[in-house]
Structures are given as structure tokens and as C-alpha cells.
Structure 1
Amino acid sequence: MINQDSIVALATPSGAGAIAIIRISGSDAIAIGNSVFKSIKNKDLTRQKTHTLHLGHIVDDAKTLDEVLVSVFKEPNSYTGENTIEISCHGSAYIQQQIIQLLLRKGCRMADAGEFTLRAFLNGKLDLSQAEAVADLISSDNEASHQIAMQQMRGGFSNEIAKLREELLNFASLIELELDFAEEDVEFADRTQFYELLNRIEFVLKRLIDSFAVGNVIKNGIPVAIVGEPNVGKSTLLNALLNEERAIVSDIAGTTRDTIEDELVIGGIGFRFIDTAGIRETKDVVESIGIKKTFEKIEQAQVVLYLVDGCLLSVDGKLDNLLVEINKTQNQYPQKPILVIINKKDLLSKEVIDRIDAKLTTNNQQPTTIYISAKQKIGVEELKNQLLSFVNTGALRNNDTIVTNTRHYDSLLKALDEIQKVKFGLETNLSSDLIALDIREALYQFGLITGQVSNDELLGNIFANFCIGK
């Protein structure tokens, strides 16, 4: 049930700033706002047109709290679908609190997290996936995640799911109709067309499910572990990538005892770099814990940068040992791209580089190799471009729908499973009543995504993650 009481919250970040916006929504929002607003032209807010701005003062009896600009939005033409006003006041924390407390005394209550967007959903202004995209848009911190959130908020994903659901629902109705005439043994649903529809739905679902691998890393960032022996330049490389002195650099082996993480946006994609403790045999208890964490971070990472001191590769047997370690790592993590980064390029002769290349070429599992100088920042841009190539952003360029939400991904998997059951039922001439059960479950999963099927617990879990004021 939609509450008709008026809610209030700060719609801008808390704290002092130039301007703050206080939002009120509800059936009495404009009347409440009007009761504390004194227009410089004696306007009555309740008589003003929707989507208009009005200059005046917020007053508490005879006390003037601030000069403000009030925006009026009348139902149903507002974000929430309800009467809404937004008070743009000066950004003093004191002024913000004084105005909010005044509005509470006038009959508003404090909004819950995400309650404005929840009301927009309940009033049919947004479907559930669009509402979730609002939260993603607010938290987007790079171009790619922003683009995906904008596409979903505009209904790109919703429209695709709604179309599939509608087509499936039409055939489901015919199947259900057959059940009403079971004794007469008639078929209202064309099985050939139905099977073609199921194939099309299956294809779309698989594409959406596959897109989650890309969408998830775009939304949450791609974890990249920088690993290697002690003192090969891992911390220097992290500093070079971030272009700041983020990690302590020292000639003393084992300086990095714990993992250090920081983020960098490359080509609109977020990468989370993890500088790890150097891998070696040690009796130092603290360093041993750091090395253990290194292997944990390799497990969590989606890309591994295996850093090597190029100057040491001229030592007899060192290059062969490196190949053994690379092969071991690739065998242990076959699904992870492993980039071999040979450091100190500025100190390597062409003969040494040629010998390293020749040796790597004979390796059966030749990895991608990049020569850099972390200290001189040589080859860093090439490394960034190589990292970017690991991300399949073709879907972004083609404006295809990309799934980023784990809840949507779970429902898509379940819907695909039910569609495949329906296909199997048609292929094996299963009775219509059993096929109908699987169709209903597929429709239910589609409905969960867009909110056509919802419950208080589901909505509570989703909107609890929103910020107050949105």
C-alpha cells in the first residue's frame, strides 16, 4: 500500500556547501511547503502551476530562516508521482536542520532510505529494474558504469524483458485455454510458432546472462593483482600506474608486508590494483602472513601482473626458473589472463631482450609479455592499453543491454532453466498442464526483474541500499 503521508529529507550530501536541496513528497507536500514559505510576490504555492520556481523566504512564525528558491511539481507529473516541492536553501548545516525540523513540526516525517524512489515505483513512474538503476547511477564512478546505469534507467533492459514476457504470456494464455477444453482434445497454441518463440527467448536470455560477466566488472571494477618476487618493483609499478607515491618503495626486500589497493579508471573502466607482498621463502612471521594474503589476492583477481626484474634474467638459470613459475601459475589459474611484466627495460641491452624473447617464444604456454621501466614510467601506457583489451566493451559501443545486477542475473538463470524445461516438454509431448506450470514459473522470474511480481521483503531489501533523500 502506498503511504499518502508527506515525507522530507535532504536530497544533497550532508554537511556544509553552497546550496542544499530539501525534498518533500506526499499528498500534502505543497500545502505544508506553502505554510512555511513567504513569497517575495505573495504567491500561494498551492495555486501555482507544476514545474515552476518561486523566490521567497522560509519563516518560522516571525523568524526568517533563509532566503530560498522553491520548485513545485504537481501530481502525477513529478519524480514520485505525488505532489512534490524542493527547497533550495543555503548550504549551512544549521539552516538545513532548522528547515527540516520546521517541516517535521508542520506534519512531515523523515523519509526512509530510498523512499522517494520507492514511491516512484509504487506509483508506476518507474519499474523495479529502473529504480535499481537509479542507485547504480548515483554510485557510478566511471564512464562505463554511468553509461550502463543510464541505459537501464531509461528502460532499455526493462523493455527487452517486458517484450519477452508479453510474448510468452500470450502463448501461456492459449495453453491455459487448452486446459479448459482438455476433454475435447484441441490445440489453440501453434506448437511450431511456440517453439520458435522459446528458441528466441532462450537466445536472448543467454546473451543477457553472458553480459553479466562484463557488467559485473564494469560496475565493481576489475581486480588486478601485481605479484612477483621481493624487490622487483611491484610498489614502484603501482605508484607509476596511479601517478602518485601510494606504496612505500625501498631497496630492502620484503618492504611490502600487506596488500595495498587503489583504483584507477582506464578508458572509462575501473581497475582495482593490488600490490602484494613479494613471494619467497621466509621465516619472518609477519612477512609470511603477507605472502599468504598474496595468494588469496591472486584467487580474487581477474588479471594477474607477474612482475620480473629484467636485470636478473641474465643470471644463469634465472630465465628457466621464471618459465617454470609462469607455467605453474598459468596451470593453477587457467581462466585468468596473466601478463608477464619485465621491469627495468631502460637497463637492458637489445641482446638481452632478444635472448629473453627467444626463450619465451619456445615456451609452450607463451604469455603476453610487456617490457617496462616502472621507475622511468616507460611502457606504462602500453600496459594500460593491454589491460583495457581484456575487457569486452563491444557491447557498450553497440549499445547492447548489459546486466550488472546480481538479482537480475539470478532471475535470468532461473527463467532460462524454466524455458528449457518448456522446450523439453514440447519435444517429448508432455501434457499441457505440466508445460503450463513451467511457463508460469518463467513468467514469475521475468516479473521479479521488473517488479510486476514483488513483495514487501523484496522491496525492503532493494531500497534499504539507497541513500536517504533518493
Structure 2
Amino acid sequence: MPTYAQDTIIALSTPSGEGAIGVIRLSGSEAITLVNQIFHGKNLLDQPSHTLHFGTIRQQEEILDEVVVSLFIAPHSFTKENVVEISCHGSSYIIQQIIELFISLGARLAKPGEFTQRAYLNGQYDLAQAEAIAELIAADSQVAHRAAMYQMRGGFSREIHQLREQLVRFASLIELELDFSEEDVEFANREELKKLVQKILAKTQHLIQSFSIGNVIKNGVPTVIAGKPNVGKSTLLNALLNEEKAIVSDIPGTTRDVIEDEITLEGIRFRFIDTAGIRETTDTIEAIGVQRTYEKMQQAALILYLFDLEQGNLNEITEEIASLEKLNIPLIKVGNKLDKAQKHLVDALRDTNDVVFISALTKHQLAQLQQQLISTLQLNQIQDQSAIVTNLRHYESLKSAYNNLQQVISGIDQGITHDFLAQDIRYSLHALGEITGDITNDELLGTIFSKFCIGK
């Protein structure tokens, strides 16, 4: 463990700014001793773990605040070190004075993520679990919370460990063959190894593919509402948000820039983007808006293509749909103004079986559209998946493992020697080990934990 990890560290663990209370956290072998020097109440050195104590924090004879002190004695704490949490009044002045007082006694300010890093270094969590703590803090939807909680409690790590364990046995046999290379013996049955690697490849591929959903869970679904001018895009945005966010007018070209807002549907955050109507225009400002519409569609995870059932033309609608499908972005086709629709147009479009008919103005069948949003991205299947990759670092490591496992299959088919097979298996094990921290380095740890907030 790095020598700095022996220090007693301190930080504010609640958000900065004025509030009812602030929680100051200390961790390290001397944490309880330091607090006991300036805490007036019970002798903290004589108290059991997981107890609360009321008293005052004093600087010499001056009372800084009345506080409640929480004791967590090693190894029964978040960091597996002695941890003290001081709940004081949320005055920024009080908090600053208390922290400065402890620094004068020998504590030092914690670095970003240092409490969690100590928890990892002391074996409380593996690296994937530690990263999940940051994702749990940042979770802003039910599904994001569920995915982070599953990872923090070790569900994802167990699946990675199982993949590694299955490979390790064969890897040891391949390595053993290297010791008898001159005798041309084979300890690892190549057909059994191939079947095992194919099984691990399938599981790894499933995890890699889950990242597309995991990224949506973590960052929300950027959803562009596109269509010709005056088809009801802004009305639909207002209906989805249940507020008058966008200006609604019968005048074509009212929306000249993108308007964004968010809602949560069944635990998934959708970022709706209302755009300028797609049409040829000589108006310079409107033309810029149209260009931005195309840019936003290229960046979207989902496009809601809205067309007018009252005045629309079947051929034009069909051509526009075909054009948008070329973007290879999930597309929901929405026929609007159902309350004023041309019957023949609805009948013709109904045959396609993938058009959602609504009235944005009256909110008729809006619930059906919301369900389509969930099902188009297969977000309703999230609860059924055992693990979802939400972390880009994990995704890259899984891809590296997958590529090396494919090399193992190719090597077996080509009959390459065991030294090359052993190398590809080692690379695969290394990539999987990076996810959980079985394989790591100080630079990687510094990068990961520097993204955490101070105090966690």
C-alpha cells in the first residue's frame, strides 16, 4: 500500500454550501485519537464501534460547535481503517474551522476519491465495485440506480471472476506444456479448450453488447423530434414534458434552434430535442436551424419522425422515412393530428404496422408512444439481464479480452504451438483482470479515483 495511505485524511462528505448539517469524515489509524483531542463529551477511545456520541468541538476553550460523532473502528468501516464522521451544523465557516483545526493536529486533506481508494486497497471492494460507488452517487434514474447497485454489490465482478476462473485451469495446463516443450506433450485437450473459449466468447459478447443499453442508462437517451415544419413537433415536446416548453404556432419555421428537456419513463431518462422543421428555406437563420437538425439527428440514439395526418402526402412521407432509415439510427414513425386525420392516409399507413398514431394536441394515445420509446430500444428488457456494462473502461477491457479469445480459437484451428496459445490466453486473462483490479497499476488507479468527488 502506498505510504500516503497511512496518513489520517479528512474531507467534507456532504455537498459544500450552507445546509442544516455538514458531515466531516476522517479515516486513518489516528482518526479516533485526533478527534478525541478536541471533542468534549465521552472519551472516544473507550467507546465501541458503530456508536454515536454528542458533545462539543473546541479550539482551546472556544466552542466551535455542538456535534454528533459517529465511530467506526477498524476493520469494521467503509475504508477498513478507523473512521470518524462528525455531524456539525452546515455553516461553511464552522466546517472550515473544524477541518483547519484537524489539519493543525496532523490530518491532511483527502484527495478526490481517496476514501474509496483506501476501501479498494484494503480489500473492502474490488475495482469494479469501487467504480460503481461513483456511478451510484451519479445515478439519476431507477434503472441507473439498479445497475450501479448490482455492480457495487459484486454481481458484475462475480461474472468476470467466473470467466477468468474457467480460463485459468486451461491456462495452467498450457503453461505446463511449455515446461515439456521438447517432449511434444499435450496436457490441455484442444477440443475442450475450444468449447470453453467459445462459451466464454458468447458471454463476453453479451456483456459487450449490453454497453449500448448501459450507456443509455448512464447518460440518458438523446431523442430527436424531427419532421417538416408545422407538423406538431413543439406541441409533442410540450405534451411529453407536460409543460409549455416550446413556442407553438401555425406559422411554419417558428422553431429555429434546438430546444432540449428531459423526462423519465419507467426509470429511463430521455433527453428530448425539438428541432427546426426539415425543409428548403431562403431564411438564413432558419437554414442554420435546419442544419443543426441534421447534426442532432446524426448524434441521436433515437429519432421520433413526426408527420402530419391531416395534410400529409403518402409518397412524401414514405420518401422521408426511407431517407431517415439510411442513418441507421433507431426510428419511431409518428403520425400526428389523428383527431383531424385523412382516413385514407391512416388506412394506408396502418398497413405498415410500425406507425404510432397520436394527437399531440389532445394527448390521445400519448401513452402508446411512450411505450414505443421503451420497447424500440429494448429498455424493457433491462430488468431481466444479469449484468449491464455501463463503464467505458470495462467495455474496452472486454473488447480486448474478446479479440484475444478469438485469436485462441483461430490458433487452435490452425494448430499453432502452445507458446502462442498461452500468450493469447494470458492477454485475455490480463484484460479481464483489469476490470476487477486483479491486474492494475498506480497510473490506472490515479485516473479512476481522481474522477470521484472529494470526501468519497
TM value normalised by structure 1: 0.93
Contact 1:129–1:152 (8 Å) recurs in 2: yes
Match of 1:430 in 2: 416
Deviation at 1:361, TM superposition (A): 5.2
Match of 1:445 in 2: 431
Relative to structure 2, which stretch is displaced further, 78-87 or 174-183?
A: 174-183
Task: Pick closer, same or farther for the CA change 1:300–1:367 going to 2, 3 Å.
Answer: farther
CA RMSD of aligned residues (A): 1.7
In 2, Cα distance between equivalents of 1:76 and 1:190: 45
In 2, Cα distance between equivalents of 1:421 and 1:21: 52
Deviation at 1:416, TM superposition (A): 0.9
Superposition pairs of residues 204-283 of structure 1, within 5 angstroms: 204-283=203-282
Relative to structure 2, which stretch is displaced further, 295-304 or 367-376?
A: 367-376
AA paired with 1:324?
Answer: E
In 2, Cα distance between equivalents of 1:214 and 1:77: 36
Match of 1:110 in 2: 109
Deviation at 1:367, TM superposition (A): 6.7
Match of 2:12 in 1: 10
Contact 2:237–2:274 (8 Å) recurs in 1: yes
Task: Pick closer, same or farther for the CA change 1:226–1:367 going to 2, 3 Å.
Answer: farther
Deviation at 1:223, TM superposition (A): 1.4
Match of 1:336 in 2: 329
AA paired with 2:346?
Answer: D
In 1, Cα distance between equivalents of 2:365 and 2:378: 22
In 2, Cα distance between equivalents of 1:424 and 1:309: 54
Q: Give the match's secondary structure for 1:311.
A: coil
AA paired with 2:10?
Answer: V
Matched residue pairs, number? Answer: 454
In 2, Cα distance between equivalents of 1:286 and 1:36: 65
In 1, Cα distance between equivalents of 2:39 and 2:395: 47
In 2, Cα distance between equivalents of 1:49 and 1:423: 57
Relative to structure 2, which stretch is displaced further, 291-300 or 100-109?
A: 100-109
In 2, Cα distance between equivalents of 1:344 and 1:444: 57
Q: Which whole-Å deviations, capped at 9, do the CAs of 1:353-384 have from their partners, x for residues lacking one?
A: 3x11333256xxx4722222222222221111
Contact 2:309–2:346 (8 Å) recurs in 1: no
Deviation at 1:394, TM superposition (A): 5.6
Match of 1:321 in 2: 316
Matched, 1:405 2:400: no
TM value normalised by structure 2: 0.95
Q: Give the share of equivalent positions with the same residue, in percent.
A: 53
Q: Which whole-Å deviations, capped at 9, do the CAs of 1:84-125 have from their partners, x for residues lacking one?
A: 111111222222222112222221111111111111111111
In 2, Cα distance between equivalents of 1:50 and 1:167: 40
Structure 2 unaligned blocks of 5 or more: none
Contact 2:330–2:377 (8 Å) recurs in 1: no
Q: Give the match's secondary structure for 2:400.
A: helix
Q: Which whole-Å deviations, capped at 9, do the CAs of 1:394-415 have from their partners, x for residues lacking one?
A: 6533251111111111111110
Match of 1:54 in 2: 53
Contact 1:338–1:368 (8 Å) recurs in 2: no
Contact 2:374–2:380 (8 Å) recurs in 1: no
Superposition pairs of residues 191-202 of structure 1, within 5 angstroms: 191-202=190-201
Contact 1:4–1:27 (8 Å) recurs in 2: yes
Q: Give the match's secondary structure for 2:304.
A: strand
Q: Give the match's secondary structure for 2:310.
A: helix
Match of 1:286 in 2: 285
Deviation at 1:17, TM superposition (A): 1.6
AA paired with 2:451?
Answer: N
In 2, Cα distance between equivalents of 1:52 and 1:409: 41
Contact 1:256–1:278 (8 Å) recurs in 2: yes
Matched, 1:377 2:363: yes
Task: Pick closer, same or farther for the CA change 1:400–1:426 going to 2, 3 Å.
Answer: same
The one of 17, 25, 38 equivalent to 1:36 is 38
Deviation at 1:435, TM superposition (A): 0.8
Relative to structure 2, which stretch is displaced further, 396-405 or 14-23?
A: 396-405
Q: Give the match's secondary structure for 1:312.
A: coil
Contact 1:221–1:272 (8 Å) recurs in 2: yes
In 1, Cα distance between equivalents of 2:292 and 2:197: 47
AA paired with 1:338?
Answer: L
Deviation at 1:465, TM superposition (A): 1.4
In 2, Cα distance between equivalents of 1:395 and 1:305: 21
Deviation at 1:7, TM superposition (A): 1.1
AA paired with 2:16?
Answer: S
Contact 1:395–1:401 (8 Å) recurs in 2: no
Q: Which whole-Å deviations, capped at 9, do the CAs of 1:166-213 have from their partners, x for residues lacking one?
A: 221222122112211222332332334322321221121111112112
Structure 1 unaligned blocks of 5 or more: none
Match of 1:144 in 2: 143
AA paired with 2:28?
Answer: G
Relative to structure 2, which stretch is displaced further, 153-162 or 46-55?
A: 46-55
Q: Which whole-Å deviations, capped at 9, do the CAs of 1:305-361 have from their partners, x for residues lacking one?
A: 111233213xxxx3322222222222x22x32322222222333xxx23x1133325
AA paired with 1:423?
Answer: I
